[in-house]
C-alpha cells in the first residue's frame, strides 16, 4: 500500500511544564479503605454477639462475604476505564490495582464459601459436603450465587500469569468480560440472603447506590463515550507502511482527529473492523499526533492481532477508545529530560521527543536496538533532533552481536548531570527493569522516573 514517505511537520503542542499536579492515587486508596471499614462496621452493628464455634465460623463467613461483595464493586469500577483514573493514576497502576483487587476478591470468595459451609454444618451437625449441597440447592438465590462464584473463580484462574500466557488474548479478554455477569448474580444473592441487608433498608439502599454508581461508570465510559467518539471522528485506515522488520505504521484518517484530546505519550484502544480483528481491542500508542486529518500508530508484530495489522486494507473502519495513559508531560518536574526507548517503546516517546518543551541540549533520547535496521522511525527522530537541537543516541549491539547493556556508568558518561533530569522510560519488561535499576544506581530519584508497564 502506498503512503507518504515523510512525516508531517512538527506541531506546536501546549507546553505542559512543571505543573505540580497531584496524583489522585492516595485519596482513592484512602476512600477504598474507608469503604472497607464501613462494610465491617455494618457487620458489627448487626451482630449482637458471637457464641460457639459455629457462630464464629458463620460470623467470619458473613464478614468475608460482605467484603467480597464490596471488592466486586471496586473490581468493576477499575474495569470502567474512567479517564480521570486511567490518566491521573496511570493505566498501568490501574491495571495492577485491578489485578490486586481480583486476587483479594477471589480469596474472600473462597473464604466466604468455606467458612459459611463449615458454620452451617456445625449448626446442623452434619458434614460439610452434605451441607454445601443443601445450601446450594435449597436456599433461594443460591443457584445464582453459585453460578456467579464459579465464573469469578474461572476468571481468577485464567488471570494467573502462567495460565494467561498460554491463552489467546481474545479468549482471555472475553472470559474476563463475563465478570460483569458474575457480579450481577452475586449482587442478587447478597440482597436475598445477606443477613445485614434483609432487615435493614438503609444497608440495602447503600448497597444499591454502590452498585448502581459502578454500573453507570461502566455504561458511560465503556459504551456511551466510545460510541460518541467514533460517531464524531469516523476513523478509517488510509495506509500501512513498513518501518522496520516486523514493525508497521498504520496511517488513519477521520473527521477532526485533532479533537480526540490525546496528549503526547498516550494511547488508545483500537479495534479494526476487519475479518479476524473486529472482536478484540488492543492498546497502541500514537507515534504521530493528530494533524490535518491524519494520525498514526506504529505496531510491532508480537501476536496474532499485531501481526495482522500489516494486512489491513485501505478503508477499513476503526473503532477507537480513549485516550488513556499518564506517560505525559504532566509528570515532568525538571528542566532537562532523558527519554529511554527499547524496541517499539519508541512509539509514545517519539511524540514526547517532538513536543516536550526544552532548551537546546536539554532533551536527550536514548534508543536501544539490536541493529540500525531495527530502529523504527529513525529518520523522523533524526529530523526532530536536528530541528530542536536535541541529542539522539543509539545503543546498538556490538558488531559480533553482543548486547550493549544500559548501565549506571554509561548513563552518567552520557549525561553527567543525570540526577537532575526527568526520565521517561518505555520498552519491553526486561529492558525497562534493567534501565530502571541503572537509573536508580546512577542517582535518579524514583519520583523522576516515569514509565508505564502492563506486566501484572
pLDDT by residue for the chain (456 residues), tens only, comes to 333 333 333 333 333 333 445 667 888 889 999 999 998 888 888 777 777 888 889 889 989 999 999 999 999 999 888 888 888 888 888 888 888 899 999 999 999 999 989 998 998 889 999 988 988 887 777 888 888 888 888 888 888 877 777 777 777 777 888 888 888 888 877 777 676 777 778 888 888 899 999 999 999 999 999 999 999 999 999 999 999 888 999 999 999 988 888 999 999 999 999 887 887 788 899 998 888 888 999 998 877 677 888 889 999 999 999 899 888 998 898 999 999 999 888 999 999 999 999 888 899 999 998 888 889 999 999 999 999 999 999 999 888 778 888 899 999 999 999 989 999 999 888 899 999 999 999 999 998 999 886 554
Quote the number of domains for the chain: 3
The answer to whether residue 15 is domain-embedded is no
Boundary residue ending a domain (174, 194, 227): 227
Q: Is residue 3 part of a domain?
A: no
Using alpha carbons, select from 280, 276, 261 the residue that is nearest to residue 308. 276
Backbone angles phi, psi at 111, to 5 degrees: -60, -40
Residue holding cell 434483609?
198
* 39 burial level (CB within 10 Å; 0-12, 13-18, 19+): buried
Does residue 4 lie in a domain region? no
Q: Are residues 317 and 334 in the same domain?
A: no
Q: Give the whole-angstrom CA distance, residue 69 versus residue 211.
A: 10
pLDDT of 411: 94
pLDDT of 9 reads 35
Query: Residue 1: CB partners within 8 Å, gap ≥ 6?
Result: 239, 240, 241, 313, 314
Query: Are 301 and 349 within one domain?
Result: no
pLDDT tens, residue by residue, 246-273: 899 999 999 998 888 899 999 999 999 9
Read off the CATH number of the domain in which 168 is found.
1.20.120
Residues 40 and 151 in one domain: yes
Contact in structure between 90 and 144 (CB atoms under 8 Å): no
Regarding whether 379 and 301 lie in a shared domain, the answer is no
pLDDT at residue 452 in the model:
80
Same domain, 185 and 208: yes
Say which CATH number the domain at 297 has.
2.40.30.10
pLDDT value, residue 172: 78
Q: b/e string for 52-89 if b means 16 or more Cβ within 10 A?
A: eebeebbbbbbbbbbbbbbbbbbbbbbbbbbeebbbbb
- Distance of CA 78 to CAs 30, 88, 364, Å? 15, 13, 35
149 and 255, same domain (yes or no) = no
406, part of any domain: yes
The CB density around residue 342, as the number of other CB atoms within 10 Å, is 23
In a domain, 440, yes or no: yes
CA–CA separation, 308 vs 272, rounded Å? 10
Q: pLDDT (tens digit, 9 = 90+) per residue, 77-114?
A: 998 888 888 888 888 888 888 888 999 999 999 999 99
Of 176, 197, 227, the residue at which a domain comes to its end is 227
247 & 164 share domain: no
Report the DSSP beta bridge partners of residue 247: 244, 300
Q: What is the pLDDT of residue 71?
A: 92
How far is Cα 237 from Cα 138, in angstroms, rounded to an integer? 56
Which value, to the nearest 10 degrees, does the dihedral of the CA atoms of residues 162, 167, 173, 174 take? Answer: -130
Q: Is residue 422 part of a domain?
A: yes
175 and 36 share a domain? yes
Distance CA 197, CA 191 (A): 6
Here the CATH number for the domain that contains residue 422 is 3.40.50.80
Nearest CA to 453 among 264, 304, 325? 325
Of 327, 369, 374, which Cα lies nearest the Cα of 352?
327
Query: In terms of domains, do 214 and 238 share one?
Result: no
Is there a single domain that holds both residue 223 and residue 320?
Answer: no
252 and 128 in a single domain? The answer is no
Residue 317: exposure state from Cβ atoms within 10 A (0-12, 13-18, ≥19): middle
pLDDT confidence of residue 54: 86
Q: Does residue 17 sit within a domain?
A: no
Is the same domain home to 163 and 286? no
- Domain residue limits at 362: 329-451
The upper half-sphere exposure of residue 185, i.e. CA atoms within 13 Å in the direction of its Cβ, equals: 17
Look at residues 188, 203, 227 and tell me which one is the last residue of a structural domain: 227
- Is residue 384 in a domain? yes
Nearest in space to 325 (alpha carbons), one of 263, 272, 250: 263
Amino acid at each position: 500500500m502506498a503512503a507518504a514517505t515523510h512525516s508531517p511537520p512538527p506541531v506546536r503542542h501546549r507546553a505542559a511544564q512543571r505543573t505540580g499536579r497531584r496524583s489522585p492515587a492516595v485519596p482513592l486508596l484512602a476512600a477504598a479503605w474507608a469503604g472497607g471499614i464501613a462494610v465491617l462496621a455494618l457487620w458489627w452493628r448487626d451482630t449482637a454477639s458471637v457464641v460457639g464455634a459455629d457462630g464464629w465460623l458463620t460470623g467470619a463467613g458473613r464478614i468475608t462475604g460482605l467484603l467480597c461483595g464490596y471488592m466486586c464493586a471496586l473490581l468493576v469500577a477499575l474495569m470502567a476505564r474512567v479517564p480521570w483514573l486511567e490518566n491521573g493514576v496511570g493505566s498501568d497502576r490501574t491495571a495492577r490495582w485491578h489485578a490486586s483487587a481480583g486476587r483479594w476478591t477471589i480469596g474472600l470468595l473462597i473464604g466466604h464459601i468455606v467458612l459459611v459451609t463449615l458454620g452451617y454444618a456445625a449448626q446442623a451437625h452434619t458434614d460439610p459436603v452434605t451441607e454445601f449441597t443443601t445450601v446450594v440447592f435449597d436456599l433461594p438465590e443460591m443457584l445464582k450465587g453459585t453460578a456467579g462464584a464459579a465464573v469469578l473463580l474461572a476468571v481468577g484462574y485464567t488471570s494467573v500469569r502462567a495460565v494467561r500466557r498460554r491463552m489467546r488474548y481474545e479468549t482471555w479478554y472475553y472470559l474476563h468480560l463475563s465478570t460483569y455477569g458474575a457480579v450481577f448474580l452475586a449482587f442478587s444473592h447478597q440482597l436475598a440472603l445477606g443477613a445485614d441487608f434483609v432487615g435493614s433498608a438503609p444497608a440495602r439502599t447503600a448497597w444499591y447506590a454502590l452498585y448502581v454508581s459502578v454500573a453507570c461508570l461502566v455504561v458511560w465510559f465503556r459504551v456511551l463515550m466510545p460510541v460518541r467518539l467514533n460517531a464524531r471522528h469516523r476513523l478509517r485506515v488510509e495506509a500501512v507502511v513498513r518501518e522496520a522488520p516486523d514493525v508497521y505504521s498504520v496511517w488513519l484518517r477521520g473527521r477532526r482527529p485533532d479533537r480526540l484530546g490525546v496528549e503526547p505519550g498516550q494511547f488508545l484502544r483500537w479495534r479494526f473492523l476487519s475479518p479476524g480483528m473486529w472482536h478484540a481491542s488492543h492498546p497502541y500508542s500514537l507515534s504521530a499526533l493528530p494533524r490535518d486529518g491524519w494520525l498514526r500508530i506504529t505496531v510491532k508484530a508480537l501476536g496474532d492481532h499485531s501481526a495482522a495489522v500489516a494486512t489491513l486494507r485501505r478503508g477499513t473502519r476503526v473503532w477507537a477508545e480513549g485516550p488513556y495513559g499518564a506517560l505525559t508531560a504532566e509528570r515532568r518536574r525538571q528542566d532537562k529530560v532523558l527519554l529511554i526507548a527499547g524496541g517499539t517503546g519508541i512509539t509514545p516517546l517519539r511524540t514526547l521527543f517532538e513536543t516536550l518543551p526544552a532548551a537546546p541540549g536539554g532533551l536527550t533520547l536514548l534508543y536501544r536496538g539490536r541493529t540500525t535496521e531495527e530502529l523504527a522511525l529513525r529518520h523522523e527522530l533524526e529530523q526532530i533532533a536536528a530541528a530542536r537541537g536535541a541529542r539522539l543516541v543509539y545503543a546498538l549491539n556490538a558488531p559480533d552481536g553482543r548486547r550493549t547493556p544500559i548501565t549506571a556508568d554509561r548513563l552518567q558518561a552520557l549525561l553527567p548531570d543525570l540526577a537532575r533530569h526527568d526520565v521517561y522510560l518505555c520498552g519491553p519488561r526486561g529492558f525497562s527493569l534493567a534501565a530502571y535499576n541503572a537509573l536508580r544506581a546512577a542517582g535518579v530519584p524514583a519520583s523522576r522516573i516515569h514509565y508505564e508497564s502492563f506486566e501484572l
